[in-house]
């Protein structure tokens, strides 16, 4: 095997990256190694999210990374955003989920469908991590048929009244603002519902078996009154929330690459350390074949 061959990057994907993209990857990898991995096991056991890491992620430009600098964001390209998701999920899926939701499901609809006033108000604060968002689409009866959503918003003068519930909402218990999708007389529309609004409640979901270091919540709306200024004016119909999901899926597909690399590294190290019949199990050809197949995949 040539000395330059990296079993964790068998096809030299890193060699195809630009200098800036490699710098982003190295920065997030260092953050994951030094700040996430030493503590994430404890948070996983407790079923809590490491809130203290939010300002650090914001300082590194990881929140809303691909939005323009005029909104306080880093202005990175799509590959850099994918690498961010990959390296964060190498530490824990909950870390990547937090960034995916904040960036692609909350900041994106404000950027793509919001007014300029909404962009100026929300995006810089969300990029700094001082305002956290969540995305309310899935409902208690299921999420695979969003056209059948039960949550409704009705016009009342210059305001909207929202009634309904959302379920399995990542970052719900952390959020200062919820991007809520509701049926109206004019089709599905998106609304910015701020924490503290009368009739708006979040309840965290506990005793999960996975994604334990990620906050997952139920949202309840009982006659929540919001001004029309909190409606996203740039979209109507299912293409609004589905466009957000398309954005999110891009980062989500990068994340499992990081998780797979982490699993592969653990497997390699274990086979080197596990001694059986006087030698590491990595010395057995059958084990080597399994590891080689993992590297190829």
Do 221 and 259 sit in the same domain of this protein? no
171 assigned to some structural domain: yes
User: Which whole number is the average pLDDT over 278-287?
Assistant: 90
Residues 275 and 148 in one domain: no
Residues 259 and 221 in one domain: no
| Residue 8 reports pLDDT greater than 90 | no
2, pLDDT greater than 60: no
Residues 48 and 142 placed together within one structural domain of the fold: no
How large is the average pLDDT for residues 273-280? 91
Closest CA to 24 of 66, 53, 68: 66
Contact 254, 262 (CB under 8 A): no
> What's the whole-number mean pLDDT along residues 4-22?
90
CATH number for the domain including 270? Answer: 1.10.540.10
Q: What is the pLDDT of residue 3?
A: 54
In this structure, are 150 and 211 located in the same domain?
yes
For residue 219, what is the domain's CATH number?
A: 2.40.110.10
User: Are both 28 and 125 inside the same structural domain?
Assistant: yes
Give the C-alpha separation, 86 to 106, whole Å: 20
Take residue 127 and report the two structure tokens written for it: 């990029």
**208 and 176 within one domain:** yes
Residue 38 counted as domain residue? yes
Contact 29, 258 (CB under 8 A): no
Q: Return d(Cα 142, Cα 228) in angstroms, integer.
A: 28
Quote the CA–CA distance of 12 and 4 in Å, as a whole number.
Answer: 10
Rounded mean pLDDT, 89-110:
98
11 pLDDT tier (thresholds 50, 70, 90): confident
Whether 267 and 287 share a structural domain: yes
Domain membership of residue 3 (yes or no) is no
State how many domains the chain has: 2
Backbone phi, then psi, for 278, in 5-degree steps? 85, 10
**Weakest-pLDDT range from 15-19, 144-148, 175-179, 256-260:** 144-148
Pairing of the two strands 279-280 and 187-194:
unpaired
**Average pLDDT, stretch 207-235?**
97
Average pLDDT, the chain: 95
Residue 232 forms part of a structural domain = yes
Q: At which of 204, 219, 238 does a domain end?
A: 238
Is residue 257 in some structural domain? yes
Is 125 within a domain? Answer: yes
Same domain, 160 and 109: no
Percentage with pLDDT > 70 across the chain: 99
Cα gap 258→99, rounded to integer Å: 14
pLDDT class for 80, splitting at 50, 70, 90?
very high
Question: How far is residue 218 from each of residues 138, 165, 171, measured CA to CA in Å?
Answer: 10, 7, 10
The token duo for 237 is 């119909």
pLDDT at 1 over 80: no
Examine the fold and report which residue of 238, 258, 280 is the final residue of a domain before the chain moves on.
238
Residues 25 and 171 in one domain: no
- Specify if 9 maps to a domain: no
Q: 198, 223, 238: which is the final residue of a domain?
A: 238
> Domain range holding 192?
135-238
The 10s digit of each residue's pLDDT in 18-36 is 999 999 999 999 999 999 9
Domain identity same for 68 and 163:
no
pLDDT of residue 204: 97
- Shared domain for 123 and 247, answered yes or no, is yes
What pTM, to 2 d.p., does this model score?
0.93
7 within a domain of the structure (yes/no): no
């Amino acid at each position: 095997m040539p000395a330059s061959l990296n079993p964790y990057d068998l096809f030299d994907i890193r060699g195809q990256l630009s200098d800036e993209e490699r710098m982003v990857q190295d920065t997030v990898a260092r953050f994951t190694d030094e700040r996430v991995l030493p503590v994430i096991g404890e948070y996983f056991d407790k079923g809590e999210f490491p809130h203290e890491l939010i300002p650090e992620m914001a300082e590194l430009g990881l929140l809303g990374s691909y939005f323009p600098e005029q909104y306080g964001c880093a202005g990175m390209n799509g590959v850099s955003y994918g690498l961010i998701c990959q390296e964060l999920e190498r530490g824990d899926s909950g870390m990547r989920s937090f960034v995916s939701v904040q960036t692609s499901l909350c900041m994106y609809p404000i950027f793509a469908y919001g007014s300029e006033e909404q962009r100026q108000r929300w995006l810089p604060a969300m990029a700094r991590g001082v305002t956290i968002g969540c995305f309310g689409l899935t409902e208690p009866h299921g999420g695979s048929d969003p056209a059948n959503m039960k949550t409704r918003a009705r016009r009342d003068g210059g305001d909207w009244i929202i009634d309904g519930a959302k379920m399995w909402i990542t970052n719900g218990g952390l959020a200062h603002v919820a991007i809520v999708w509701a049926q109206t007389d004019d089709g599905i529309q998106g609304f910015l519902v701020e924490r503290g609004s009368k009739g708006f409640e979040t309840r965290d979901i506990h005793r999960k078996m996975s994604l334990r270091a990620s906050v997952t919540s139920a949202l309840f709306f009982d006659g929540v009154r919001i001004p029309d200024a909190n409606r996203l004016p740039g979209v109507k119909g299912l293409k609004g929330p589905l466009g957000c999901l398309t954005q999110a899926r891009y980062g989500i597909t990068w994340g499992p690459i990081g998780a797979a690399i982490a699993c592969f590294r653990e497997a390699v190290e274990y086979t080197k350390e596990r001694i059986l019949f006087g030698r590491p199990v990595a010395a057995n050809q059958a084990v080597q074949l399994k590891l080689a197949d993992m590297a190829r995949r």
